Chains A and B, each alone.
Chain A
Amino acid sequence: MSRRNFIKATAVSIALAAAGFASLPAIAADTIKVGILHSLSGTMAISETALKETALMAIEEINAKGGVLGKKLEPVVVDPASNWPLFAEKARQLLTQDKVAVTFGCWTSVSRKSVNPVFKELNGLLFYPVQYEGEELEKNVFYTGAAPNQQAIPAVEYLMSKDGGSAKRWVLLGTDYVYPRTTNKILRAFLKSKGIAEADIMEEYTPFGHSDYQTIIAKIKKFAGEGKKTAVVSTINGDSNVPFYKELGNAGLKATDVPVVAFSVGEEELRGVDTKPLVGHLAAWNYFQSIKNPENDKFIKQYRDWAKKQKLPKAESVVTNDPMEATYIGIHMWKQAVEKAKSTDVDKVIAAMGGQTFKAPSGFTIKMDEKNHHLHRAVFIGEVKGDGQFNVVWKTKGPVKAQPWSPFIAGNDKKKDEPEGK
């Protein structure tokens, strides 16, 4: 850290000394570099490409209003190609070569776990915009997506309620990696605490990029035919969702019989699917495009205009979703923190982040927790409509504080609600 600061200080002093006659360092000092670390190819591109666009849009918006501390932001976009080790390499490149002040990136938990040591070692700053399984609290990371108590637990509670269909049997279905495995561990413990028997829970995993869901759908049908109301919790990630939902529609498994609630499926993922057979299946998020308020109208319009300007594919039908909103909130909060700290120094920015607030498109003034690096967020549960949008059927009264250490995992009650070494 001290070395980094030293380099920076030297660079600044050289720049000041040379300001009169050398133009090169002056240009470097004029901008603040911002890293964008999202997969633009591979299985996760379906979800992550839109986050890159959102980040670029927010950066342009900030630059148009004069930038941060009088300097323009300069985005550095890299493509880790849904390849988890490559995430770490690209993160290192962003921090050491490009010397970015902050990075916005990652979707899957496995990619986040792969870059965490890099950000720790080089004392970088990462904003992670996606709902995840909790069970970690890094000093160098801010989590703008939901922790399990802000998404998974309320969704399951809803399906247990009368309005949700009073589900008694549960299928926990996911892609085979750390996020679904951990979430399902938490959900299993939660369901048991609600008196659900072991025999009434089925857990299934598929590899990344899996595209043949016949067997799984047949298994779900069989499991659901045992006489008790069944619900499916899907933590399938990436482009596997398209064949999964296609198969679900073709097999005639209706939401009124067996509702499927998904944690990684939003407006963007459903763009490639005919949603008419899927009406009524659910998703739980902290934001939906269909939420009506002035901030959201502005956000949607801003993104549509951006898509048109950038000539994105199918720009006329672009949608906004929760991780995009989380990215947007993250960038604005970082800007506010930098302005409060009057510096882009990582430690100073981390100190200034706690307690930042932002009036978000989800209709609430979102606060960054003073201690635990997570946002206080409201939870929404939506049902898929025929046009691929979601109809909000349940929501919390206000923002909920995140519990990164889920109380449903043994031993978590002793863990501190604050990153180590802060």
Chain B
Amino acid sequence: MIPRIFLLLMLLLGCAAQAAPNPVLVRQLAVEESDDKIAAIRKIALTAEPEALALLQQLADGSLKDDKGEEITLNNRVRRELEGALAVLKLIDPDVNVRYKAVKEVATNVDAAMAPMLAKARDRESDPKIRALLVEIHALATLKDEDPKIRLAAAKGLASSADPNTKAVLKAQSEPANETEVEVRRAAFQSYLAVKDRLTLAENIGRVFSGLSLGSILLLAALGLAITYGVMGVINMAHGELLMIGAYATYAMQGLFRSYFPNQVDWYLLAAVPVAFFAAAAVGVLLERTVIRWLYGRALETLLATWGLSLMLIQAARVIFGAQNVEVANPVWMSGGIEILPSIVLPLNRIVIVGFALFVLMLVWVLMNKTRLGMFVRAVTQNRAMAGCVGVPTGRIDTVAFALGAGIAGLGGVALSQIANVGPDMGQGYIVDSFMVVVLGGVGQLAGAVWAALGLGIVTKFIESWAGAVIAKIVVLVFIIMFIQKRPQGLFALKGRFVES
């Protein structure tokens, strides 16, 4: 730790460095023992010249070569030391973003001896966000100060923190074994409670978000089924395979972009959305025209026939794409996450999927409620004979509605390809969940599917966080069985009279 402090001091005083890093130093970095390597890193960092920064950055990136032209390797311990040294060097970087990252890095390893230097860095800092962080780190560094007044101020100042490490430090400080002054203990305990509350809140936000994220995935998987089963009454066991087709369409688009538009490869996902929709819809039309239309009103036969179709589709995918999972990469704009608080990071791919689910939901709602096609679909499903009498082409509407349901399943597949594995039997894992959502929500209701999906997602995540994933799955299934016993029509029942029911 000491060299980092010297370094910080020198940087703040604008001290000139002694010598530029040279091949001798590079050779020192190329040693076997971690201890020697760390010593070399400290020595190089002490020179505090732009060359030092460049050299260490090269080492961190893995592009630094030794005499034999072989890469100099690092282990976690050396890497931690290196990142710390780099962060200190970057604290005076003109770029605000670089400084911000550097402060975050310094915050992971605060030492009491750094306090005066951190205070100076804090006073120099112009960016309010970084300044606030520096204030916090400074308080953390002075928590063990000899002067009880400073300790008291530090303990009070840390109340605004949201870092799990700070919580642990404050807890230790509030115990008589570590702190002699009653007042400081009390202040530390107060701050500890404040930080704890903030962390609990963050934890719950995280849980709700992951529930929302799971719910949006369930919704995307089930929305197509809500149309084909919920509205049309077709028990489509091949629904999962329509999801799979959507996911493979995404994979195919990725391949296409990689070969023909390597510069725009990050945007393959946008192109995949319509492709997946139409690919799945086309398969849907095929299924409806060749098999399902002959079986309307015969639930058991439909179930068996579509189950057979699902097996055929799985085998077809195996033949075309191979039995192994294929790799679908997240585009760069969907990798990483947004840090809300130090303890919660919301992954970007999941945020995008929640948004996408909303978009698809809007699309379906508009189609079903605001268009002529939607009106026809509703008319046919409510009273087929009467709809036919007033001139609705019932046969064609059936096909279009089924294709719509299949296409939406394809869109669900696009979303799934971003978070789950894409393989021939990926659909099997979602068919049960999809039926669960539709049955729980109430057959024939889009709103029911939405509430059921979100509810199941959040409940599953809350159970998971205290009982684990295995128990959560069991509890949710048992709950649904009991719920359906009590209320067979689901959360939302259709009101009104029907001819065929």
Measured between beta carbons, the chain B residues less than 8 angstroms from A255 are 76, 79
Known contacts A206-B470, A274-B335; decide if A218 and B344 are in contact (CB<8 Å): yes
Partner of A216, one of B169, B322, B469: B469
Measured between beta carbons, the chain B residues less than 8 angstroms from A66 are none
Interface size class of A (residues with CB under 8 A): 35 or more
Measured between beta carbons, the chain A residues less than 8 angstroms from B349 are 246, 250
Q: Is B330 an interface position by the 8 A CB rule?
A: yes
Contact stretch, chosen from A132-140, A160-168, A326-334:
A160-168
0 or 1 for each of A192-221: is its CB under 8 Å from B? (1 = yes): 000000000000111101111011101101
Known contacts A214-B461, A259-B76; decide if A45 and B323 are in contact (CB<8 Å): yes
Contact stretch, chosen from A107-115, A337-345, A383-391, A396-404:
A383-391
Q: How far is the CA of A45 from the CA of B164 in the complex (A)?
A: 39
Contact stretch, chosen from B149-157, B275-283, B419-427:
B419-427
Q: How far is the CA of A205 from the CA of B470 in the complex (A)?
A: 7
Interface of B is mostly: helix
Measured between beta carbons, the chain A residues less than 8 angstroms from B203 are 218, 222
Do B421 and A243 touch (CB < 8 A)? yes
Q: Is B126 an interface position by the 8 A CB rule?
A: no
Q: How far is the CA of A249 from the CA of B335 in the complex (A)?
A: 8
Measured between beta carbons, the chain A residues less than 8 angstroms from B75 are 163, 280, 383, 391, 393
Q: Is B262 an interface position by the 8 A CB rule?
A: no
Q: How far is the CA of A163 from the CA of B469 in the complex (A)?
A: 33
Do A250 and B168 touch (CB < 8 A)? no
Do A214 and B79 touch (CB < 8 A)? no
Do B423 and A239 touch (CB < 8 A)? yes
Q: Is A251 an interface position by the 8 A CB rule?
A: yes
Measured between beta carbons, the chain A residues less than 8 angstroms from B323 are 40-41, 45, 49, 79
0 or 1 for each of B343-372: is its CB under 8 Å from A? (1 = yes): 111011110000000000000000000000
Measured between beta carbons, the chain B residues less than 8 angstroms from A20 are none
Q: How far is the CB of A238 from chain B (nearest CB, A)?
A: 9
Q: Is B495 an interface position by the 8 A CB rule?
A: no
Measured between beta carbons, the chain A residues less than 8 angstroms from B77 are 162-165
Q: How far is the CB of A350 from chain B (nearest CB, A)?
A: 33
Q: How far is the CA of A252 from the CA of B329 in the complex (A)?
A: 17
Measured between beta carbons, the chain B residues less than 8 angstroms from A257 are 108
Q: Is B80 an interface position by the 8 A CB rule?
A: yes
Do A239 and B343 touch (CB < 8 A)? no
Q: How far is the CA of A250 from the CA of B336 in the complex (A)?
A: 4
0 or 1 for each of B286-323: is its CB under 8 Å from A? (1 = yes): 00000000000000000000000000000000100011
Q: How far is the CA of A139 from the CA of B74 in the complex (A)?
A: 43
Contact stretch, chosen from B21-29, B44-52, B205-213, B230-238:
B205-213
Do A207 and B425 touch (CB < 8 A)? no
Q: Is A247 an interface position by the 8 A CB rule?
A: yes
Measured between beta carbons, the chain A residues less than 8 angstroms from B424 are 41
0 or 1 for each of A246-283: is its CB under 8 Å from B? (1 = yes): 11011110011101000000000001101001001010
For A290, give the chain B residue with the smallest CB separation.
Answer: B73
A-B contact count (CB 8 A): 153
Partner of B345, one of A42, A49, A252: A252
Measured between beta carbons, the chain A residues less than 8 angstroms from B34 are 162-163
Do B468 and A205 touch (CB < 8 A)? yes
Measured between beta carbons, the chain A residues less than 8 angstroms from B171 are 227
Do B164 and A214 touch (CB < 8 A)? no
Measured between beta carbons, the chain B residues less than 8 angstroms from A391 are 73-75
For A281, give the chain B residue with the smallest CB separation.
Answer: B76
Do B76 and A211 touch (CB < 8 A)? no
Measured between beta carbons, the chain A residues less than 8 angstroms from B420 are 211, 243
Known contacts A256-B83, A257-B108; decide if A225 and B327 are in contact (CB<8 Å): no
For B464, give the chain A residue with the smallest CB separation.
Answer: A215
Q: Is B473 an interface position by the 8 A CB rule?
A: yes
For A215, give the chain B residue with the smallest CB separation.
Answer: B464
Q: How far is the CA of A274 from the CA of B329 in the complex (A)?
A: 8
Measured between beta carbons, the chain B residues less than 8 angstroms from A385 are 62
For A381, give the chain B residue with the smallest CB separation.
Answer: B75
Q: How far is the CB of A297 from chain B (nearest CB, A)?
A: 15
For B339, give the chain A residue with the smallest CB separation.
Answer: A252
Q: How far is the CB of A267 from chain B (nearest CB, A)?
A: 14
Do B343 and A214 touch (CB < 8 A)? no
Q: How far is the CB of A311 from chain B (nearest CB, A)?
A: 11
Measured between beta carbons, the chain B residues less than 8 angstroms from A206 are 468-470
Partner of B347, one of A79, A163, A251, A256: A251
Q: How far is the CA of A252 from the CA of B346 in the complex (A)?
A: 10
Measured between beta carbons, the chain A residues less than 8 angstroms from B73 are 391, 393
Q: How far is the CA of A251 from the CA of B343 in the complex (A)?
A: 10
Q: How far is the CA of A251 from the CA of B344 in the complex (A)?
A: 8
Do B210 and A214 touch (CB < 8 A)? yes
Do A243 and B419 touch (CB < 8 A)? yes
Do B468 and A252 touch (CB < 8 A)? no
Known contacts A239-B325, A251-B337; decide if A209 and B429 are in contact (CB<8 Å): yes
Measured between beta carbons, the chain A residues less than 8 angstroms from B345 are 250-252
Q: Is B239 an interface position by the 8 A CB rule?
A: no
Q: Is B214 an interface position by the 8 A CB rule?
A: yes
Q: How far is the CA of A386 from the CA of B62 in the complex (A)?
A: 9
Known contacts A41-B318, A42-B425, A256-B79; decide if A272 and B325 are in contact (CB<8 Å): yes
Q: Is A176 an interface position by the 8 A CB rule?
A: yes
Q: Is B10 an interface position by the 8 A CB rule?
A: no
Do A212 and B318 touch (CB < 8 A)? no
Residue numbers of B with Cβ under 8 A of A are 34, 62, 73-77, 79-80, 83, 108, 163-165, 167-169, 171-172, 199, 203, 206-207, 210, 213-214, 217, 318, 322-325, 327, 329-330, 335-337, 339, 343-345, 347-350, 419-421, 423-425, 429, 461, 464-465, 468-470, 473
Q: A246-B419, A277-B336 are in contact. List 9 more A-B contacts (CB 8 A).
A: A45-B323, A214-B213, A214-B461, A226-B168, A250-B337, A251-B345, A272-B325, A386-B62, A391-B74
26 contacts between A and B (CB under 8 A): A41-B318, A46-B325, A49-B324, A163-B77, A165-B77, A204-B468, A209-B429, A212-B210, A212-B217, A214-B350, A215-B464, A215-B465, A215-B469, A216-B469, A218-B344, A218-B465, A225-B164, A246-B349, A246-B419, A249-B336, A250-B347, A256-B83, A271-B327, A280-B79, A282-B76, A391-B74
Residue numbers of A with Cβ under 8 A of B are 40-42, 45-46, 49, 79, 162-165, 176, 204-207, 209-212, 214-216, 218-219, 221-222, 224-227, 239, 242-243, 246-247, 249-252, 255-257, 259, 271-272, 274, 277, 280, 282, 313, 383, 385-386, 391, 393
**9 A-B pairs with least C-beta separation:** A225-B164, A227-B168, A250-B347, A214-B210, A272-B327, A41-B323, A211-B420, A393-B75, A256-B80
